[in-house]
Amino acid sequence: MTIETSNTTTFDSLGLSEPILRAINDAGYSAPTPIQANAIPLVLSGGDLLAGAQTGTGKTAGFTLPILHLLSKKPRAEAAASRPRCLMLSPTRELAAQIEESVKTYGKHLPLTSTVIFGGVNANPQIARLKKPLDILVATPGRLLDHANQKNVDLSGIEILVLDEADRMLDMGFIRDIKKILAILPKQRQNLLFSATFSEEIKALADGLLHNPGFVEVARRNTASELVEQTVHMVPQAHKRDLVTHLIKHHDWKQVLVFTRTKHGANRLAEKLIKDDIQAAAIHGNKSQGARTKALAQFKDGSMRVLVATDIAARGLDIDQLPQVVNFELPNVPEDYVHRIGRTGRAGSSGAAVSLVDREEIKLLKDIEKLIKREIPRVSVEGFTPAANPEPEAPRAPRPQQGQRRKPQENSKQATPAKNNAAAPSQQAKRSQPAQPRSQKPMSEAARHQAMPQSALFSPQPTNSNQRGNRGNSNRGQVARGQQNRGNANPGSQYRTGGRDR
């Protein structure tokens, strides 16, 4: 089922309550976007929904507004700690924080409570908040499972479930966590699945999750916004950093979001810009959550001129009227290009996206143009003179795909005694067999980051009662304690403060 709406649709005509309409007016919005006008009536009807729209079209308000209405019209029977009524799942920390910010903005005139939980930060404040009555919980799947396993949160009272950016959740490897969460939720609930794209995997997930859902899609899948002016500058890789500096200073760009393919490249570019007297910061999976939050806040308020990010930040960054996006390198996955440039040209505003393309990236460019069904204009850069001796790019071996192993270095082969190889023929035979990759599909930076091995968040504490007299056991205990302390700034907490987007 798909609803068509006219251009005269207003928030008043959608059936939302007066406190919500007052909050919408306070936020400065006058008319709903197409995805909001189509989705809100379906959610208010109480049925399941499968909805999709190109990034930047207001999907968050499309489910936040009607959920606030439904919960406010059906007050909680009794205050229950650790038992939320609505669960909103998102793939990244930044997106989860922004969803909860929207909940507070639109629900500020309602007596509803909300909080957000995600990894990368100390869990103790989250535990303290979960012990209080709660209506709406926004979370990333990994950290939510951690709290559920430790009985910090009770999901038996969930009335409404939202999966936001569901395609990115699958790309980042959250499907197992999602299935575990679904298994502990009550069977009778309203399910809302929002996604920027509808892949076959998304359709399979929807078939098992949704019951006779309404369907809304307001734009063709994987389409770039027509409000974004796209251009390509052909430039050798060695000259890209100098060109970024030139473009920012020549055009006097005040707010620029730059995407790199790797975390190493993001750091190097940020250092180069700072050296050239341009305020810049890098955010990626290796940065602490505090550093990422601070850099994003400074970028939003204008005190940070350039934000350099990997694809882990391509989804969920909602920056009002962001004028400029630069692709320092093209992504390996064409769909990520659409999500990158979708950070500008949002909510009816115009924007520009510039891609710096080396000759070795021509194939990636062709794949992107095939996906978006248009050729991106090649534009020469006036006034740019490449440096005679550009800073060399450090060579890096290609990263293995998920399920593959890195090839051993030659030095390690020569250093291995022949007798050791002969002593373990079975192990050597296993190593000689090529690892079978799980998938030949290229993986984005966010997916590779999520696929990295990670130790268990909750592990039993080792007993050291019999270790004093045994040097070997004592050493192992010291190593275990060292690992525990490195993963947690608070030794008394069972939660790790670092790690990926849990």
Cα 417 to Cα 106: distance, rounded to the nearest angstrom: 68
Q: Angle, to 10 degrees, between the axis of helix 240-251 and the axis of helix 263-275?
A: 50
Q: What is the pLDDT of residues 315-359, one digit of tens each?
A: 556 676 788 999 999 988 888 888 888 778 665 567 899 999 999
Least confident interval from 146-160, 209-223, 280-294, 473-487: 473-487
Name 282's bridge partners: 308
Contact 280, 253 (CB under 8 A): no
Share of the chain above pLDDT 90, in %: 43
The arithmetic mean of pLDDT across residues 230-255, rounded, is 93
Spell out the residues 6+ positions from residue 48 whose beta carbon is closer than 8 angstroms to its own.
190, 191, 192, 209, 210, 211, 212, 213, 214
- State pLDDT tens for residues 248-300: 999 999 999 999 988 899 999 999 999 999 999 998 878 887 888 888 888 88
Residue 487 has pLDDT above 60, yes or no: no
Q: For residues 119-126, give the mean pLDDT.
A: 89
- Structure confidence at residue 243 as a pLDDT band (50, 70, 90): very high
Give the pLDDT of residue 318: 67
Q: Determine how many CB atoms are found less than 10 A away from the CB of residue 345.
A: 26
Q: Enumerate domains of the chain plus CATH numbers.
A: 11-217 (3.40.50.300), 228-372 (3.40.50.300)
Does residue 189 surpass a pLDDT of 70? yes
pLDDT at 420: 43
pLDDT at residue number 198: 74
Question: Taking 60 as the threshold, does the pLDDT of residue 125 lie above it?
Answer: yes
Burial of residue 367 (CB within 10 Å: 0-12, 13-18, 19+) is middle
The reported pLDDT for the residue numbered 404 is 52
Q: pTM of the entire structure?
A: 0.59
